C-alpha cells in the first residue's frame, strides 16, 4: 500500500467518524447514522471523480473504502456508547479529514494531467464536499458557509502550499504532509483562536 492510499483510507475513516458524531447529535437512528457517515466519507471523492471523468469512481473500483468506512462507523458508535465525545471532537475529526482528502484530491488531479488552479479546486472539493452534504442532511449551515470560518480557505492554502513546494523540487512524499499540516494548522487556528477571514457586509 502506498502512502497516498494509506492517507486516503485514513481520511475516509476520520470523515466517517465525523459523520457519526454529527448524526448522533441529531438523534438519528442507526440507518441515518450510517448514511451520514458514508456520504461524509465518500461524497467529496465521488464528486471529484465525476468531474474528472474517472470511472468507475474510487469506492466502486476498490471496495476497501466501503469496508474502512463501515469499520470506522462501527468503532465510533462503540466509542460514543461508553464515553461522551469531547465537545470539539467533530471539529477536530473534520479538520483531519479535510487535510487528508484535500491534498489527496490534489494529487489525484495531478495524476490525470491537471495542475494549478484546477488541482487546487479538485483538492478543495474532495475535502469539503462530503462535509457540506453532511451538514445539509443534518439541517446545519455547512461549515464551508459559516461566517468567517477557515474551511475552504484552509484547503486552498494547504493544497497551494503543497503544489508550490512540489514546484520547487521538494519530493511529493514530503510536500504532501507539509500541505496537510498547513490545513490542520489553519483549521485549528480558526477553531481554537477564532481566526477568521473578512465577511462581506452590505450597507
In this prediction, residue 50 carries a pLDDT of 94
Beta-carbon neighbour count of residue 3 at 10 Å?
11
Torsion, Cα 67 72 73 76, to 10 degrees, reads 160
Q: Does residue 1 register a pLDDT over 70?
A: no
pTM of the model as a whole: 0.82
Q: What is the per-residue pLDDT across 65-98, written as a single tens digit (0 to 9) for each?
A: 999 999 999 999 888 888 776 667 667 777 888 8
In this prediction, residue 160 carries a pLDDT of 94
For residue 18, what are the CA distances in angstroms to 2, 3, 25, 38, 60? 25, 22, 11, 10, 22
pLDDT confidence tier of residue 21, bands split at 50, 70 and 90:
confident
Average pLDDT, the chain: 85
In this prediction, residue 199 carries a pLDDT of 67
Q: Does residue 165 register a pLDDT over 90?
A: yes
pLDDT confidence tier of residue 47, bands split at 50, 70 and 90:
very high
Helix, strand, or coil (residue 58): helix
The whole-number average pLDDT for the span 154-167 is 92
Amino acid at each position: 500500500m502506498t502512502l497516498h492510499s494509506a492517507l486516503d483510507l485514513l481520511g475516509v475513516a476520520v470523515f466517517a467518524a465525523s459523520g457519526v458524531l454529527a448524526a448522533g447529535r441529531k438523534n438519528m437512528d442507526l440507518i441515518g447514522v450510517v448514511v451520514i457517515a458514508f456520504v461524509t466519507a465518500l461524497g467529496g471523492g465521488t464528486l471529484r471523480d465525476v468531474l474528472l471523468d474517472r470511472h468507475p469512481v474510487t469506492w466502486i473500483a476498490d471496495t476497501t473504502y466501503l469496508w474502512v468506512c463501515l469499520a470506522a462507523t462501527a468503532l465510533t458508535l462503540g466509542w460514543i456508547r461508553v464515553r461522551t465525545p469531547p465537545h470539539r471532537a467533530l471539529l477536530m475529526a473534520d479538520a483531519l479529514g479535510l487535510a487528508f482528502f484535500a491534498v489527496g484530491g490534489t494529487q489525484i488531479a495531478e495524476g490525470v494531467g491537471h495542475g494549478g488552479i484546477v488541482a487546487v479546486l479538485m483538492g478543495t472539493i474532495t475535502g469539503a464536499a462530503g462535509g457540506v452534504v453532511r451538514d445539509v442532511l443534518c439541517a446545519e449551515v455547512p461549515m464551508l458557509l459559516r461566517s468567517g470560518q477557515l474551511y475552504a480557505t484552509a484547503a486552498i492554502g494547504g493544497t497551494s502550499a503543497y503544489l508550490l513546494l512540489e514546484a520547487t523540487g521538494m519530493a511529493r512524499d514530503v510536500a504532501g504532509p507539509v500541505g496537510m499540516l498547513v490545513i490542520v494548522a489553519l483549521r485549528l487556528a480558526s477553531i481554537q483562536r477564532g481566526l477568521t477571514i473578512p465577511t462581506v457586509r452590505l450597507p
